[in-house]
Structure 1
Amino acid sequence: MAVEAPEIIEVDTTRVVCDGSGGALGHPRVYLEMGDEGFVECPYCDRRYVLKAGAEGQGH
């Protein structure tokens, strides 16, 4: 049984919000902050948010 790789989403800021994008099938909304690594993973759905190359990294 193959396991799907987590979804990778490129973003412009170091602060992101994830709710699983599944409507009623999603998960509670969580606010995530990237560290110096330039990425952060959602603890619920394992999505990986990656800072786009050249992005300033300022949270909104």
Structure 2
Amino acid sequence: MTAPEPPEIIEVDDTRVSCDGGGGPLGHPVVWYTIGDEGYVECKYCDRRFVLKAGAETHAH
């Protein structure tokens, strides 16, 4: 049995990110996330992990 593939990791410059799963119609509904103090957030649909780049600006609320 093979180990599951790790989630796709996407480095971003902003704490506010959106995810649609990629793949156009094969993706999922667009969802928005805010990266908190932990420096990353994972999509609840497709498990993509969005990681904040070092020195990136925080999103103005």
Fold match (TM-score > 0.5): yes
Structure 1's consecutive aligned runs of 4 or more residues displaced over 6 angstroms after TM superposition are: none
Give the TM-score, by structure 2 length.
Answer: 0.88
Task: State the identity as a percent.
Answer: 69
Structure 1: gaps spanning 5 or more residues: none
Task: State the Cα RMSD in Å.
Answer: 1.5
Matches within 5 A, 1:1-60: 1-2=1-2, 3-58=4-59
Deviation string for 1:20-58 (max 9, x for gaps)?
A: 011111001000111111110000000000000111222
Tell me the number of residue pairs that the alignment of Structure 1 and Structure 2 aligns.
Answer: 60
Gaps of 5+ in 2: none
Relative to the length of structure 1, the TM-score reads: 0.90
- Counterpart CA distance in 2 for 1:4 and 1:11 is 21
